[in-house]
Amino acid sequence: MHKTWGGRFREDTDQRVEEFTESISFDQRLYAQDIAASIAHARMLAKVGLLTADEADAIVQTLEAIRAEIETGRFPFRTKLEDIHTHIEHALIERLGDVGRKLHTGRSRNDQIATDMKLWTREAIDTIGRLVRDTQRALIEAAERNADLILPGYTHLQRAQPVLAAHYFLAYVEKLERDRTRLFDCRKRLDELPLGTAALAGTSLPIDREFVRQQLGFARLAANSLDVSSDRDFLLEFVFALSMIAVHLSGWAEEWILWSTVEFGFLDLPDAFCTGSSIMPHKKNPDVLELIRGKSARVVGDLQRLLVLVKGLPLAYNRDLQEDKQAVFDAFDTVAACLQLAAPLIQAVRFRREAIAQRLDDGFLDATTLMEYLIQLGMPMRSAHEAVGKLVRRCEERRCRLADLPPEEYEAIRPGLSSGVYQIVGVQNALRAFRSLGSTGPEQVAAQLRRWRERLDQDVGI
Ligand code: ARG
């Protein structure tokens, strides 16, 4: 068996060590990135005269053949060959002999793995970006479908003020937009080529990093070899951005789990997205939403794992860094899977409009608007707060709504109040009164919806 570490070693590696140190079981996922980077590297070596043109051609063709074998499941992966870099180099040497032994000129597995992970993360960000967009589209369509529906809005999970369903959906569109731009910020920052920084100090060979940069489509060259060899910031940022998505989805899932209960009765989840009970014949459980909520724990755990992994590592590369991959892949796979289910679930949900409307009068959703009306009539805010608080108490005594209080109750607060107040109280009236920018007022929401619709219709990517 060919040993990449060569002459320094007299003994074969202990089999237990091979099993303990291998990463091929999970880094084989990086084969396409590893081969793309090797092809760029080989072409560069030919350009600067460290390979002949024929040697580079042979290497490139063989790398492409290896890629095809991996893709069709014909390539043997072996624990003994440790990682994806060694596997591919080993296969190259098996086929090309001395020419294959030249590929690793002027590079190290340290700059190779950093390059592979950056290439992989760039694509992963694009994938998640698209999935987030799909979810945003589903939310906007749901906002358009339910444009006139009024929902109770909550703080502390207590009824607070009325909100339009469209406003509710757009709230998540905004959260996801921050998540998307956070991902693309991370993408911009990571867009620096590591390859050519070699093990930690660079190389004395006349390599051309700028050429490789262009081949692999990186925006800039990473400037400091010592930094690059140890840098995993981009993976931490990426997994943080994924954690935010997972946490946002988890809050939304919790909301809909509650809303689908008999106690709330706000919505019907599609049968196709629920599961039954093995013993209770009547049950329809929101398992998909529960798992979206539950899987956020994995992603947050992955972030934690990475933070602890890099804490206290001296410069430059340390083998600890091999442990980054499973956390990153798991966070990506988990968030991608959650987003893939979120969009169709949002598309298929149905609100129980009647049931929501029937109970909209519970909870004094119009009280704050009434207070603001008194403020507009000249009453100091604190006095208006006090006065409406008393009116709410009167309603509780009489078991009625603010809109049902007789005129004398309002006259007692302020003479003349009863003439205009009945156009203010009542949930519909209260909702129409909102007008501040970004509020749930119908004109504001219509404008937000238009803005989002236009933005998505001419989706500019970032
Ligand atoms: N499998 C290693 C990793 O994932 C690749 C780099 C190994 N470098 C080394 N000097 N052992 O980090």
Cα–Cα distance list, 185 to 78, 134, 179, 324 (Å): 38, 20, 10, 21
Cα 134 to Cα 154: distance, rounded to the nearest angstrom: 27
User: Within 13 Å and on the Cβ side, how many CA atoms surround 230?
Assistant: 15
pLDDT exceeds 80 at position 109: yes
Q: What is the pLDDT of residue 277?
A: 83
Cα 122 to Cα 190: distance, rounded to the nearest angstrom: 8
Closest Cα to atom 7 of ligand 1: 109
- Burial label for 182, CB within 10 Å (0-12, 13-18, 19+), is middle
Q: Report how far ligand 1's centroid is from the alpha carbon of 216 (Å).
A: 21
Tokens read off for 442:
């119908």
Report whether residue 41 contacts ligand 1, using a CB cutoff of 6 Å. no
Contact 270, 349 (CB under 8 A): yes
Report whether residue 113 contacts ligand 1, using a CB cutoff of 6 Å. yes
Q: What is the pLDDT of residue 284?
A: 83
Closest Cα to atom 11 of ligand 1: 319
The mean predicted confidence, pLDDT, of the chain is 96
156 is catalytic: yes
Q: Report how far ligand 1's centroid is from the alpha carbon of 319 (Å).
A: 6
CATH architecture assignment, domain 15-105: Orthogonal Bundle (1.10)
- Distance from CA of residue 236 to its chain's centroid? 13
Which ligand 1 atom is nearest residue 85's CA? 5
Report, as an integer, the average pLDDT of 159-163.
Answer: 97
pTM of the model: 0.96
Report, as an integer, the average pLDDT of 253-265.
Answer: 97
CATH architecture assignment, domain 367-458: Orthogonal Bundle (1.10)
Q: Which residues contact 157 (CB under 8 A, 6 or more apart)?
A: none
Report whether residue 110 contacts ligand 1, using a CB cutoff of 6 Å. yes
Domain 110-357 has CATH 1.20.200.10: yes
Q: Is the dihedral of CA 334, 340, 341, 347 positive or negative?
A: positive
Q: What is the pLDDT of residue 282?
A: 86
Q: 156 phi and psi, to 5 degrees?
A: 55, 25
Q: Report how far ligand 1's centroid is from the alpha carbon of 25 (Å).
A: 14
| Residue bearing the bigger pLDDT, 8 or 39 | 39
**Domain map of the chain by residue range?**
15-105, 110-357, 367-458
| Residue bearing the bigger pLDDT, 402 or 456 | 402
pLDDT exceeds 80 at position 175: yes
Contact 43, 105 (CB under 8 A): no
Q: What is the pLDDT of residue 276?
A: 86
For a mutational test of ligand 1's pocket, the pick from 26, 34, 38, 83, i.e. the residue with the most ligand atoms closer than 8 A to its C-beta, is 83
| Residue bearing the bigger pLDDT, 278 or 413 | 413
pLDDT grade, residue 458 (50/70/90)? confident
Q: Report how far ligand 1's centroid is from the alpha carbon of 113 (Å).
A: 7
248 is catalytic: no
Cα 378 to Cα 373: distance, rounded to the nearest angstrom: 9
